Structure 1
Amino acid sequence: MKGTAIHLLAVLVLVASCATAQQTRDLLDDPGALPRKAGVVDVPFFPQEKYYCGPASTAMTLAWSGLPVTQEEMARQVYTPGREGTLQPDVVAAMRRNGRLAVPVDTLRELLGEIAAGRPVLVFQNLGLDFYPQWHFAVAIGYDLDDGDLIMHTGPYSHRPVALRTFEHTWRRGGYWALVVLKPGEMPVAAEEMEVVRAAAGLERVERYTDAAVAYEAIIERWPRSFPAWMGLGNVRYATKDLTGAEAAWRGAIAADPENTAPAWNNLAYVLQALGRRQEAMEAAQKAVDLGGPDDPNYRSTLDEITNM
């Protein structure tokens, strides 16, 4: 029985390794604008200590971005002793706490595109099988389409070539989870508005207001009609007592999306009240109620609060 189980496992591993890696095949057949070979220079390498692939990979990407971090410091931020490992949300949280945007990368073409643009990509893999996982974080730092390899800082190995086909299988089993780590104001190669907005909002949530403002301003420069970016910019300016700036941002939100302005009018009412312009504040609050509906408790509460001041 034991021998049969071992034989079955070997067959399953063989089947998994032979499964079609469609993204790899598509890339090798048609790389498009991607160069045949690319690599990111000067990505620090921290050999992984036991169970520390998460801290090591997080430290490597943050150190590459210019922050003086160590594997041990990142372990204190992302490692969960009870699990003998690192959870993905903790990696994202660490990026935010350290003032960096964490933007998802979920296709192999996007991943290689970031490398070609000179950025490493933090990846999450399952080096085992779907039913017997071996979770692993690593950093992709280069590729060679002629050889069919991805170059990685992984475990104890620096600049290790891994077959793209093999990587795709392990990455798929990890849920195609990967991050590119950016300084505020930078954009990913395949920039999608809401992905970058969510990354900027992450900085706002951990009160990295200056970094969040820079990120929101860059989003607005790229997408001038980005309602959530204008709203976020108003929020961080208000939080830092830049009331005039907050007013300008929320008016920008109103102009950006005239069909969805109730939240902006509601926020504008608060900043106008803080600026001592009570009549304008009441008018803005009433506008929010009119647009959002008189039964919305948030907008009605704002109007009542300002009216009774």
Structure 2
Amino acid sequence: MHRLAPLVCAGLVLAACSGPAAPPAVRVAGVPFHAQEGFRCGPASLAMMLGWTGLDVRADTLEAAFARRSGDPRKVLVAAAARYGRFAYPVSGLDAVIAELDSGHPVLLLENRGVAEKPLWNCVVAVGHDRGALLVNGGGQAGRAVSFDLLERLWGDAGHWGLVILNPGDLPVAPRRDGVVAAAANLGLAGRHWEAVLAYDAALARWPGDSEALTGLGASLRLLGDAQGAAEAYRAAAESTSTVAETRDGRRQ
């Protein structure tokens, strides 16, 4: 018994000195690289995100969407992704970004390299993380390590805004109902009604009977010429709204 004690203690000392094991590095596969030349960070980042979903889109073909608008590129990025039939879902905060990367989803990040009064927007694509740093495709380099501290300074001034772009029917790691319905609606506004149907179906699989998703589904089906499907969706939306109202009234009594 006494002979074993020093060995056990030595093991405890070694464990204490080594500390907890670092989490394994994560790298999202299949993200193409487009160099961000000049002021093409937005088009290049969007091309990388769309390429990961299976669309071969050149950065220069996306420049027109950004040239028509100056300033904050968030709305441009979301609308452009929807025009290509992709589900664009904003995320916020490092934990959310890490969760998406761990699930194999790249995340487009918006940085502010200026000051609050005079922002200088820059886009990069997070493709992984390793030992306290994000791995990003940005500028002329793929997989560049950016420490969390530096990221906080650049990304924090842009409101910790990120964008996940997925194939319609897929959902982010921790979806919010309102965000999913809004992303589906953006597809409809872009004229991508079949993709909107897929997104609304995914929302309803997650939140059955949601009246907003059912209403959006009905509108998309109507525009696709499916009158019967649209009527069924509208009917289900009305029934869901009525049930919610009755439940609310019952709680007040």
Structure 2 distance, partners of 1:244, 1:163, is: 54
Structure 1 distance, partners of 2:202, 2:121, is: 35
Q: 1:132 to 1:250 in 2, by over 3 A?
A: closer
1:123 lines up with 2:109 in the alignment: yes
Structure 2 distance, partners of 1:71, 1:79, is: 13
Which residue identity lines up with residue 44 of structure 2 in the other structure? A
Percent of matched pairs sharing the same residue: 38
Cross-structure match for 2:26: 38
Cross-structure match for 1:180: 164
Offset at 1:86? 6.9
Offset at 1:157? 1.3
Deviations, residues 200-230 of structure 1 (Å, cap 9, x unaligned): 0001111111000111111111110211000
Structure 2 distance, partners of 1:178, 1:79, is: 21
Instruction: After TM superposition, list the pairs within 5 Å mapping 1:81-160 onto structure 2.
Output: 83=70, 87-144=73-130, 147-160=131-144
Deviations, residues 223-274 of structure 1 (Å, cap 9, x unaligned): 102110000000011112211101111121123232568xxxxxxxxxxxxx
Structure 1 distance, partners of 2:77, 2:203, is: 23
Quick check: 2:93–2:161 contact (8 Å CA) kept in 1?
no
Quick check: 1:42–1:64 contact (8 Å CA) kept in 2?
yes
Structure 2 distance, partners of 1:192, 1:103, is: 10
Q: 1:131 to 1:240 in 2, by over 3 A?
A: closer
Which residue identity lines up with residue 134 of structure 2 in the other structure? L
Structure 2 distance, partners of 1:79, 1:119, is: 28
Residue 191 of structure 2: SS of its match in structure 1? coil
Cross-structure match for 1:60: 48
Structure 1 distance, partners of 2:117, 2:187, is: 35
Which residue identity lines up with residue 99 of structure 1 in the other structure? G
Which residue identity lines up with residue 174 of structure 1 in the other structure? A
Which residue identity lines up with residue 79 of structure 2 in the other structure? A
Deviations, residues 131-164 of structure 1 (Å, cap 9, x unaligned): 45332011000001xx211000011111100001
Instruction: After TM superposition, list the pairs within 5 Å mapping 1:1-309 onto structure 2.
Output: 36-80=24-68, 83=70, 87-144=73-130, 147-259=131-243
- Structure 2-normalised TM-score? 0.83
Residue 105 of structure 1: SS of its match in structure 2? strand
Structure 1 distance, partners of 2:72, 2:41, is: 8
Offset at 1:128? 3.1
Structure 1 distance, partners of 2:93, 2:116, is: 19
Structure 1 distance, partners of 2:113, 2:98, is: 20
- Structure 1-normalised TM-score? 0.69
Q: Which runs of 5+ in 2 are unaligned?
A: 1-22, 246-253
Which residue identity lines up with residue 108 of structure 1 in the other structure? L
Offset at 1:36? 4.2
Offset at 1:78? 2.5
Quick check: 2:72–2:121 contact (8 Å CA) kept in 1?
no
Structure 2 distance, partners of 1:155, 1:59, is: 14
Structure 1 distance, partners of 2:34, 2:215, is: 39
Structure 2 distance, partners of 1:168, 1:98, is: 31
